[in-house]
Structures are given as structure tokens and as C-alpha cells.
Structure 1
């Protein structure tokens, strides 16, 4: 009746069950997986660069920026107060310029935090067998093993098909 290829096909429910077993934050990991599938080419490769409108970003920066609206609300306000306190003696007297510097500093911290969260989520996606990771770029002698290399994530074909199956609303 059912051949083997259809018996092991993934659907969104199966993806969520896998993530529930592999991640402490399965919903966040699912968001990252969805964004990776959005950025991926037909073969499922996403990165190392993503074109977003008129700018080109590293994949992890793009993912972090895409997830940054989740950092709104009280946590963002609290972060803004902490950053303002740490920069209080360094901000210029011009309120417009001070606001721009403060906003840029907050956005930078949110991006850094977001990149850490993305890395954790990708680790969960790797454990769940939904994504593979490799690096692209120059290998250099550097104490940081990722020096001058950028992440490329490949969404597994069955997961990519499940996420793209009904991607258009009618």
C-alpha cells in the first residue's frame, strides 16, 4: 500500500515531535527552522550570506534580526535602562544623537544575544536531524575556531518539503 518513501515522510507535526524530544525550547527552534527554510535555496542550503532587501547579511545576523521582534516588551525596556546606565557618561549632550547611539547599542546587544539563541536552536535542530551545518570562508590560524568562517545550514530535504508544502495562503 504505502511505499517506504511516503511512510517516512515528515509533516509539521512530526517535526514538532522531533523538536520536543531534542530541545528545551522547541517552539523557538521551530521558528529558526522555518526561517532557515525561507532563506534556503532549492537544495536546502542557507548561507553564508542572505540578501534582505537592499542589504546582504551573514546568515546568523539575518536570523537574529528576524527574531528580534521577540525581544520587545519589558525585557527590551530593562535592557535599554541597563545600557543607558552603562553609557551615561559617554553619551553626548545632543538628545537626538544620544538617542541614536543608545538605540544602536541596544540593537547590537539584542543581535549578539539573538545569535547565541540561534546557535542553541541550531544545535537542537542538529540533534533532531533536521539540519546539517558546515562553514564557508577562509581558514586562518586563529584562537577562535570559527575565525573568518561563516555558518551554512542545510535543511534536510524531508523537513524542507514539509515546511514548503503549503507555503502560499489561498
Structure 2
């Protein structure tokens, strides 16, 4: 499996099959897009390869469960989906959505995504950063923001250290 994210779309490549994940092919036809150039496109795969998360400025946060082949939409807490990362234990996905150089990062437990009610809100982990990169270490999720800072947030939302 190969996940390819480019300014022209997000593609899942498996064996001899290529599937466009975003933008959705029906959206391209419905809105008569001349091209599929994405702003703020991002995509990631869980460590066990069961889950794929993606988004762009023109979408919600999206999660595909490859086991059931079902797709789930998660509404962003800020204007534009900007970044996603899975925890190393494959239990949680973190999503950031930005507005100018600020943003909001939420934590979505994957076990709960299947039963989520639309009015339910996900835990907010950070309300300041436009996030460019995330990776989990033992202490928590390390976040790299638009101002050049790195900091770590644990799953309870506590921030540890700030470098930059």
C-alpha cells in the first residue's frame, strides 16, 4: 500500500489499483472542477495500516476504516483542516484545523468514531497552533507549529516543554 498526497489529490495505491480519496470523484463532476489542486492537503496512515486520515482546505477531516471500508467525517474545530497524525498504539488520531497562523487541535479516539453523535465534541488538545507536523513519542504528541515552535502535549491535554 502507498498513500500519495500531492497538490492534485490524495491517492491510495494498492497492487495494480489506484483510488482517489480526495477530492471525491463525484465532487469533481458535480462542481465541474477544472483540476483537483488542493490547498493544505494532508494524509496519514495508522501504524497498523487499518486507518487512513486526510483532509484539505475544502474538506472536513476524513477517516477511512480499511477493515470495514467505511469513511467517517469529523468536522474541524477551526476553519481549515491542516494536519493529522495517528498515535503509535493505533487508538487515537489527532487533527489540526487552522485559521491564519492559529488553529485548534482535537483528539479523536478511533473506537468512538463509529458511535459518534453529530452534536458530540471531541477533546480539544490545543487552541493556538497552526500545526505543520505531529509525531507521537512516549511523553505525548510532539507538535511543530507555524511559528517554528515544537512542544509536546499528552493525551490529557497537558503541555510539556516548548522549543523554538
State whether TM-score is above 0.5.
Answer: no
**Higher relative contact order (Cα pairs below 8 Å, separated by 6+ residues):** 1
The structure carrying a bigger strand percent of its residues is: 2
TM range (shorter): under 0.3
Normalised to the residue count of structure 1, the TM-score between the two structures is 0.23
TM-score by length of 2: 0.23
Larger Rg: 1
